[in-house]
Structure 1
Amino acid sequence: MPTAPNGRPRAAVAMSPRAAAAVLDPASLAALAEVCDLRPLPVLDDFRTPRAHAVLADTDLLVTGWGCPPLDAAALAAAPRLRAVAHTAGSVRHHITDACWERGIEVSSAAAANALPVAEYTVAMILLSGKRALEQARDYRATRRRADALGTPLRVGNYGRTVGILSASLIGRRVIDLLAPYDLEILLHDPYVTDEEATALGTRPVGLGELFTASDLVSVHTPLLPATRGLVSRDLLTSMRADAVLLNTSRGAVVDQDALTDLVTAGRIRAVLDVTDPEVLPPEHPLWDCENALITPHLAGSQGNEWRRLADLAVGEVTRWAAGDGFAHPVRRERLAFTA
């Protein structure tokens, strides 16, 4: 492995300045500098500049993040020694190109670290929607009077509720793990998971249609790929039980937005949406004022102090790679066809 004169690999940070300021605090930068010869900031956010070419010329590893430019053939030509990329966010699709794989560059992602807050958000919304907490809080505010608990409909509550998980992705698996202590039946649809694997995860494997007809809530965790665009169709949404919930923390375009809007505004089903299509919805969109929809501003992923978890994972990956142990969270080219 090429190294700096002090025997350590040379590394540089490539992302937007705002991403670097948010994710890489001084302690994280210091930890990186302990295991590699880290080039000083400012970050690289344009690989075409003379400074970027000077930095890339002897860089062995890039620590990347949101806003990293594509590592295309031209960028790699300026980085003849580059052998590894440690990404401080989830998907690497925006900057890792075919040229990277063809060179054999090792790639790591912090997707596993980012999966946890999304899973936590999902579980919170599953439990809150089961109790109809947001609706009851709204009514309580309006009436200033407690509802009659003994008159609560039997459809309210989480005991014995059926939750459908669409895709055993990193996030989907974390959701399944976090739901294990609760008295819920967990269904799973994932064409890449065998029935034996699904059972081992603590779920009951079902077909796509049954996932929607049999669940009180369906949580979408499939990545947005050409094959999954519009996967949650009007027919599937229409087949859901009355008052069922569609929870989406994946990507808005996985769901037929028009069909979802029709069904939710008609009061047929409910929706909890951390993502929409488009994002953000137009100001006049009917979902904004619909009592059956809760829309949050794509906040399920890492935010605030949760960014430190991403940095910690990246530091750990750089430490392993610098020691010759390889990445613990590698991204494989052959898995890109069905991962985010």
Structure 2
Amino acid sequence: MIVTVLVPDEYGVSALGAVDGVRAVRYDSLDDLPPEAAEAEVLVPGFLSPGQADVLDALPKLRLVQLLTAGAEAWIGRLPDHVMLSTCSGAHGGSTAEWAVTALLAVFRRIREFEDDRRAESWDSRRTETLQAKRVLVVGAGDLGRQLHRRLVAFDAEVTMVATKARDGVRGLDELPALLPEHDVVVLMVPMTPATRGLVDADFLARMPDRAVLVNAARGPVVDTDALVAELRSGRLRAALDVTDPEPLPPGHPLWSAPNLLLTPHVAGNCTGVQQRAYRIVAEQIARFAAGREPEFLVRGDY
């Protein structure tokens, strides 16, 4: 029996071509699916594509939505019970961790200020901070958090991991209020769920020590934007954001001009090799499905 899989690009067609029992068919958009959609059992949405429940009418045999991303919030709650949802866990952790380390190094070593000096032809050899011995609180202990932990330790930072529930080597989310004042950096690497939406509010930020750095590599709505802007404008906190709320930022938004902020446009995982890494995971998950087994990274409930 052949399983028909709809993929959004030619790379997906090629990547799934070697998977036994699978026929990969490309589509141009979810609004214009090919005739093979009538037989498709698996849909692979494009990177960061919004969840479209109305597409289900054109996919009567759909049994699995396999994502190219680790985040699944766009599709959670939009699928009927008989359709499974699987993430691309393991594909983007290394790249996202690399971005977080890059952001912290840029902030602590004042790379942007030195670049401004270069443009102004100003030789100002001032002292900077270092990532060494910084106390870093990583909120999220999945693949992204684990990848970041490994890299931070290599820079001699002191790392504390936090997850929903405490376990060996990981603190519980309920311990955050006590942990925040003890750390120089907080890095967010949590999935977007009802429990994490607005997690970083004014009270959360107020508990961070003066000149601490908030790094958001999760999703924009995890942070209360207005509360963060207030802290940045006061000069008390610093931040590095790869995601924002709203996203993309509209013209004139306060984050464009906020001081003490390093901002990138959701590019932590968008780097060379991203398709290869993502489709390697996707091919493994779809191979399991075609063989009659459940994918490893199924979303159950909110995650």
TM-score scaled to structure 2, two decimals?
0.84
Residue matched to 1:308: 276
Is structure 2 residue 257 aligned with structure 1 residue 289?
yes
The 1:288–1:75 alpha-carbon spacing in structure 2 relative to 1, beyond 3 Å, is same
**Matching residue of 1:129:** 107
Q: 2:93 aligns with which of 115, 118, 130?
A: 115
The counterpart of 1:331, out of the listed 288, 298, 302, is 298
Amino acid in structure 1 at the alignment position of 2:261: A
Structure 1, residues 189-245: CA drift from partner, whole Å, max 9, x if none? 333232x2418xxxx998212332111111112223222222212122123222211
Q: How does 1:63-212 map to 2 (within 5 A)?
A: 63-66=44-47, 67=49, 69-70=52-53, 74=57, 78-79=60-61, 82-95=62-75, 97=77, 100=80, 102-103=81-82, 105-148=83-126, 152=127, 156-194=129-167, 196-198=168-170, 207-212=175-180
Correspondent of 2:187 among 219, 227, 232 = 219
Match of 2:42 among 61, 67, 75: 61
Task: Please name the residue that 1:30 is paired with.
Answer: 14
Instruction: Write the letter of the residue equivalent to 2:140.
Output: S
* Native 8 Å contact 2:13 2:25 kept in 1: no
Q: In the alignment, residue 13 of structure 2 is paired with which amino acid? A: L
CA shift in 2, pair 1:39/1:117, >3 Å: closer
- SS of structure 2 residue aligned to 1:301: coil
1:45 positional shift:
1.3
1:8-23 matches, within 5 Å, as: 9-14=2-7, 20-21=8-9
1:72–1:99 Cα contact (<8 Å) kept: no
Q: Secondary structure at the match of 2:239?
A: strand
Distance of 2:122 and 2:187 partners within structure 1: 33
Q: Which amino acid aligns with 1:191?
A: T
Percent identity, aligned pairs only, is 30
Between the aligned partners of 1:41 and 1:232, the Cα distance in structure 2 is 40
Structure index of larger Rg: 1
Report the counterpart of residue 209 of structure 2 in structure 1. Answer: 241
Q: Is the 8 A contact 1:265 1:286 kept in 2?
A: no
Contact 2:198 2:224 in 1 (8 A): yes
- CA distance 1:99–1:252, shift in 2 (3 Å): closer
What's the CA shift for 1:44? Answer: 6.0
CA distance in 1, matches of 2:79, 2:199: 30
The normalised TM-score by structure 1 is 0.76
What SS does the aligned partner of 1:138 have?
helix
Q: Report how far residue 73 of structure 1 moved.
A: 6.6
Change (3 A) 1:115 1:70: farther
Correspondence for 1:17 = none
SS at match of 1:111: coil
Aligned length: 300
Deviation at 1:249, TM superposition (A): 1.4
Query: Is this contact kept in 2: 1:188–1:205, CA < 8 A?
Result: no
5+ long unaligned stretches in structure 1: 4-8, 15-19
Residues 1:315 and 1:71: Cα distance change in structure 2 (over 3 Å): farther
SS of equivalent residue, structure 2 residue 100: helix
Shift of 1:143: 4.5
Deviation (angstroms), 1:57 = 3.7
- 1:270 and 1:211 map into 2 onto residues whose CA distance is 18
Are residues 261 and 106 of structure 1, via their aligned partners in 2, closer, same or farther at CA, if it must alter by over 3 Å?
Answer: closer
Aligned AA (1:186): V
TM-aligned CA distance change 1:128 to 1:210, over 3 Å: farther
User: Which letter maps to 1:198?
Assistant: V
Query: Residue 169 and residue 261 in structure 1: after superposition, are their counterparts in 2 closer, same or farther (change >3 A)?
Result: same
Cα offset, 1:118, TM superposition: 1.3
